[in-house]
Amino acid sequence: MKFRTHSVAVIATTVFACCWTLLPCSALPASATWSIRAQPTRLVNGAPVLFQVKSPIRLESLTGTWLGHELTFSYDASTKSWFTIAGISIETAPGTYTLEVTAEPVGTKTLKVTHPFAVARAQYPQIKVELTVEKKFTEPTPEQQAQIAESVKIKQEYLSRVTPTREWDGNFTAPADATISDVFGSQRIFNGKAQSPHQGLDFRVSTGTPVAAMNSGTVLLARVLYYEGGFVVIDHGQGFLTLYLHLSEFKVKEGDEVKRGQIIALSGGTGRATGPHLHVAVRWQGTYLDPAGLMKLSLP
């Protein structure tokens, strides 16, 4: 399935010199301004977000904090702006939250700029889907519980890693040319028992369909885990991971560097799956985000 990129408006705000901290207002002309923008314009829980900052002065670096997460910005010479992608967890309540950026200007003192952003509640599907899976996935034996615990340990060790260097470059693209069978945030019921909201995007594909990397990065995991089945995780840097589940065959190994569009695996129905399909998830610094929203962002 190809996702159409919509023209995206931006939220822009002007922050005057007298709003800066740690830098005297007299150090710069009164007309000097900052521009802080967010894409998309309407921020909701569960969504990825692109922050872009334009500075009136030359900077050596720009970092920030957002919802308790640390941000590292990259510089885009073509637009003369600093950018980073971040996210909002699905558990985040509606309200106003502050982005704080810390700038290191060339030849002068550190300064900070803050800007509030409104976060609304997303309207995720409330349709409850009854699914039937093998009993071992809903009522595991003690031996199977030990396998589950080992899988959990592996995920805790690997999925919490934050690589400081950005490896992604440009837009994130669909991992398969196929229709969507289930979306992020929907409610699921396995064997009559309610589960947590769906944390990814499902593509309707048959076993053996090529699966492509959504962006450039390094293969963090390529293993078979209890619930995930054949499982590949790509580290795109700065805490951004893409996860590919229920795979039937690996085409990469851990530590491999991959490019956007490179075939990394073949789809399947392994692990806790009701049939062949491709489940894709996006994880940012421990928070699951809507993959469809990420693919709609127009990135530098």
Q: Identify the weakest region by mean pLDDT among 56-60, 126-130, 209-213.
A: 126-130
∠ CA 175-177-178 to the nearest 5 degrees? Answer: 105
Render pLDDT for 8-54 as a digit per residue (tens, 0 to 9). 333 333 333 333 333 333 344 433 689 999 999 999 999 999 999 99
59: helix, coil or strand?
strand
CATH topology of domain 11-120: Immunoglobulin-like (2.60.40)
Q: How far is Cα 199 from Cα 152, in angstroms, rounded to an integer?
A: 16
CATH topology of domain 128-296: Glucose Permease (Domain IIA) (2.70.70)
Q: 260 with 170: CB under 8 angstroms?
A: yes
Q: 245 with 200: CB under 8 angstroms?
A: yes
130 has pLDDT over 70: no
Q: pTM for this one? A: 0.85
- Pick the closest to residue 112 from 51, 63, 68, 56 (CA basis): 63
Intrachain domains 11-120 and 128-296 with the same fold? no
Name 119's Cβ contacts closer than 8 Å, sequence gap at least 6: 43, 44, 45, 88, 92, 94, 95, 96, 97
Q: How far is Cα 237 from Cα 252, in angstroms, rounded to an integer?
A: 18
Domain range annotation of the chain: 11-120, 128-296
Render pLDDT for 42-88 as a digit per residue (tens, 0 to 9). 999 999 999 999 999 999 999 999 999 999 999 999 999 999 999 99
Q: 99 with 118: CB under 8 angstroms?
A: no
| Beta-bridge partners for 59 | 105
Q: How far is Cα 284 from Cα 25, in angstroms, rounded to an integer?
A: 36
75: helix, coil or strand?
strand
